[in-house]
Amino acid sequence: MPDKAKMEKGHISIHTENIFPIIKKWLYSEKEIFLRELVSNAVDAIHKLQHINLIEGLQLEDEYAIDITVDKDAGTLSIRDNGLGMTADEVRKYINQVAFSSAEEFVEKFKDLDDKNQIIGHFGLGFYSAFMVSDKVEIFTRSYQSDAAAVHWVCEGSTDYHLEECDKAGRGTEVVLHLGAEEKEFLEPFRIREILKRFCNFLPVPIRLAGDVVNDQNPLWTRSASEVKDEEYRDFYKKLYPLADEPLFWIHLNIDYPFNLKGVLYFPRLTTEFDVAKSHIKLFCNQVFVSDNCPELIPEFLNPLQGCLDAPDLPLNVSRSYLQNEPQVRKIREVISGRVASKIVELAKGDRADFVPVWENIHTFVKYGMLRDDKFHDKLKDHVIYRLAGSQEYVTLPEYLEKAVAKHADKVYYTNNEAAQSTYLKLFANQGMDVLVLDSLIDSHFIQFLEMKNGKVAFQRVDSDVTENLIEEDPKIQLPGKDERKARLDRIRQLFEEAIKTDGFSVRVENFKDDSVPGMVVLSEQTRRLQEMTRMLGQGDENPFGEHTLCLNGKSPVVDTIIGLKDQGRDEDAAMLMQQIYDLSMLPHCAFDRERMAAFLERSNRILCKFGSLG
């Protein structure tokens, strides 16, 4: 053992008063980052030695590794590497001066922040983060230089330190933490393993705990995409998210210019428990875990993305407000948005049957992205697919418009509720006209956006009007002349106007090609959109049908029956049927209040009784 007389005692000169209490009581929500900092330092020491070995030809053949040791009896946690090591002068420089000055600067810069989460990575505190959990810290180190003596440095959480020579066989550094009374959780191997798995799981140097290697030194993002098989991507996802279902798709990033960015991102299968408002990306810096809450790096509409991003060039010790305006961060968002769009296009061009389940999970986010990002829209506009009402077939907008040229050029018919609008859909189906299903919350905005982007194209809900394709140009009903035909239609209109006493109500009579529907209520597309918008702003009427039209089918047998009843003087029965036609037409559009529903049910029973008495 070296002579105790050679022990050096010193005082660390600092400007920040009480820096150790500040470090100890630092408002980190994750105190365990001390282990990340110390392991990162050990990795740096190994990398520096590997570089020197290569440049100077030292011919070192050691197996590089970092060993973590827990001694419960002594109350210590040790981090040992076989890297560069330090001489006594280097300890004085890098521990007493450089490292401490960095820690002092870091604490002074961030200690007054109201929101400590504004600091994404918390890098910079470095070696002195050890005092977050320790009452005393020791360093045993020996430089790789052949003539260097091993040294021992110790500090007990004050500005005083001791430095002396010591016995240490091999090169490298061992940091021994004498844990505080409240930090005994870090003496549990399972807790240390948990921290290593979170922060150091993908470091490029083997990390051993009780002799077992706990990390993966070659994560997928460090490899070329051409080298990685699909099964490896799935296995890696399972390693990151053990409880999640298989992802929908993934993208592999490997960018060297104009910035350095690597990573593998996955689009997950969404469940009701999935928080789409939260960032799910794990951010790394040179394979060191930094944060799993970095929404600034991902476009808002791609928040569901999971996976890893390794951004070694990104300035991490900055506030979130800075990142929001950082040009490099904006470029990263653009790159990710572009790569995701390209992947979706690739999937859409493949087998549509395989793409449909993917689309069902992602369509809301894709549409939102198209609304927010013109470049994203331009890439995907011809690959968005829509389901056809009454089937499981999907088409793109260009495909739909091409097929519709003969019957309704540049007009798109859609439904937002197949069940409620089934009467209208039946009429369209009987005439061989396709209707798109647009029933998600975002679709009302997306429709108007598509009209804006495609000036000639107009979207019209199936219940907004009776299209000319549903009306018979040459009625099959043979009447002696036009005057009598007109008189008949006028009579039908007059009968219903007298029977239905509702404000804003009007009647229109047409001869439908299909006689199975006696009538239906229509509200113009633009009027309905305006009313929906005002209701969203809290300014509209609760009843969207202040003004509406009952379009009657002059070919319907039920309408013929009503005329016959009037001719027989059975005015009450005719009125009952007219009110029933109106209520049936209104049911798809609005919920009846208690009184109206009771009247509708009572009237329905009366009609059934009359039919029953006929038998």
Tens digits of residue pLDDT in 52-103: 888 887 777 678 999 999 999 999 999 999 999 999 999 988 888 766 665 5
Q: Which of 23-32, 56-65, 109-118, 442-451 has the lowest mean pLDDT?
A: 109-118
Listed residue (36, 332, 340, 336) closest to 196, CA to CA: 36
Give the pLDDT confidence score for residue 27 in this predicted structure. Answer: 40
In angstroms, the CA 418 to CA 463 distance is 11
Summarised one tens digit per residue, pLDDT across range 459-475 is 999 888 777 777 765 54
522 within domain boundaries: yes
Nearest Cα to 236, choosing from 192, 282, 190? 282
pLDDT at site 514? 82
**The predicted structure's pLDDT at residue 12:** 64
What's the domain count of the chain? 3
Q: Which residue has the tokens 């807790």?
A: 191
Q: Are residues 197 and 318 in the same domain?
A: no
Q: How many CB atoms lie within 10 A of CB 221?
A: 23
Q: What is the DSSP letter of 520?
A: E
- The pairing of strands 411-415 and 458-461 is parallel
Partnered with residue 79 across adjacent β-strands are 68, 175
Instruction: Provide the residue type at 106 as one letter.
Output: F
Same domain for 57 and 178, yes or no, is: yes
Mean pLDDT value of segment 167-177: 94
Residue 297 is given by DSSP the state G
Are 185 and 294 contained in the same domain?
A: no
Residue 238 placed within a domain: yes
Give 561's DSSP letter. Answer: H
Select from 194, 213, 232 the last residue of a domain. 213
d(CA 101, CA 95): 9
Q: What's the pLDDT at 120?
A: 41
**Burial profile 513-526: b = 16 or more Cβ within 10 angstroms, e = fewer:** bbbebbbbbbbebe
Q: What is the pLDDT of residue 104?
A: 60
Task: Classify residue 388: in a domain, yes or no.
Answer: no
* CB burial of residue 99 (10 Å; 0-12, 13-18, 19+): middle
Q: Is 69 annotated for ligand binding?
A: no
CA pair distance 420, 586, nearest whole angstrom: 10
Q: The tokens of 438 are what? A: 């647009």
Per-residue pLDDT at 329: 84
Residue 338 CA from chain centroid, whole number: 16
Identify the DSSP state of 471: B
pLDDT at 347: 97
Same domain (yes/no): 174, 247: no
Look at residues 10, 5, 6 and name the one whose alpha carbon lies nearest to residue 160: 10
- Is a pLDDT exceeding 50 seen at residue 5? no
Q: Which amino acid is at 319?
A: S
Average pLDDT over the chain, rounded to an integer: 85
**C-alpha pair distances (Å), 320 with each of 174, 261, 271, 294, 296:** 35, 19, 29, 9, 8
Locate tokens 């400007």: which residue?
15
Question: In the prediction, which pLDDT does 28 show?
Answer: 47
- What pLDDT does 527 receive? 74
Task: List the domain range (segments joined by +) for residue 250.
Answer: 220-349
What mean pLDDT is predicted for residues 142-164?
Answer: 90
The answer to whether 337 touches 299, Cβ cutoff 8 Å, is yes
Check whether 81 is labelled as a binding-site residue: yes
Q: Is residue 450 assigned to a domain?
A: no
Considering only 4-18, 67-81, 413-427, which range has the smallest mean pLDDT?
A: 4-18
pLDDT > 60? residue 317: no
Is position 464 within any domain?
A: no
Domain-located, residue 54: yes
Inside any domain, residue 341: yes
Between the alpha carbon of residue 264 and those of residues 200, 284, 334, the distances in Å are 17, 12, 16
User: What does the alpha-carbon distance between residue 87 and residue 150 come to, in Å, rounded to a whole number?
Assistant: 7
Q: Which of 180, 198, 213 is the last residue of a domain?
A: 213
Q: How far apart (Å, rounded) are the C-alpha atoms in residues 28 and 38?
A: 16
- 197 and 273 share one domain: no
| pLDDT for the residue 100 | 63
- Residue 548 clears pLDDT 90, i.e. is over it: no
Is there a single domain that holds both residue 187 and residue 260? no
Q: Alpha helix (H) ranges present in 12-159?
A: 19-24, 33-56, 88-91, 100-110
Which CATH number goes with the domain that contains 256? 3.30.230.80
Strand-pairing partners, residue 69, are: 78
Q: What is the CATH number of the domain that holds 563?
A: 1.20.120.790
86 is an annotated ligand-binding site residue:
yes
- Higher model confidence: residue 377 or residue 538? 377
Enter the tokens of residue 381.
Answer: 């506009």
Q: Based on the domain organization, do 116 and 183 belong to the same domain?
A: yes
Q: CA geometry: angle at 31 spanning 28 and 37, to 5°?
A: 105
Q: What is the largest CA-CA distance in the chain?
A: 130
Domain-terminating residue out of 168, 183, 213 = 213
Residue 223 banded pLDDT, cuts 50, 70, 90: very high
Q: Does residue 286 share a domain with residue 199?
A: no
Residue 194 annotated as binding site: no
For residues 106 and 154, membership in a common domain is answered with yes
How far is the C-alpha of 553 from the C-alpha of 583, rounded, in Å? Answer: 15
Regarding whether 209 and 64 lie in a shared domain, the answer is: yes
179-201 pLDDT, tens digit per residue, is: 999 999 999 999 999 999 999 99
In this prediction, residue 11 has a pLDDT band, given cuts at 50, 70 and 90, of: low
Is 37 flagged in the annotation as binding?
A: yes
Q: How far apart are CA 559 and CA 580, in angstroms?
A: 12
Q: State the pLDDT confidence band at 231, using cuts at 50, 70 and 90.
A: very high
Residues 155 and 251 placed together within one structural domain of the fold: no
Q: Are 384 and 367 in contact (CB under 8 A)?
A: yes
Query: Are residues 224 and 209 both part of a single domain?
Result: no
Nearest to 519 by CA among 567, 587, 572: 587
Is 362 inside a domain boundary? no
Output phi, psi for 387, to 5 deg.
Answer: -80, 140
User: What's the pLDDT band for 538 if we cut at 50, 70, 90?
Assistant: low
On the question of pLDDT at 242 being above 60, the answer is yes
> Residue 316 pLDDT > 80, yes or no?
no
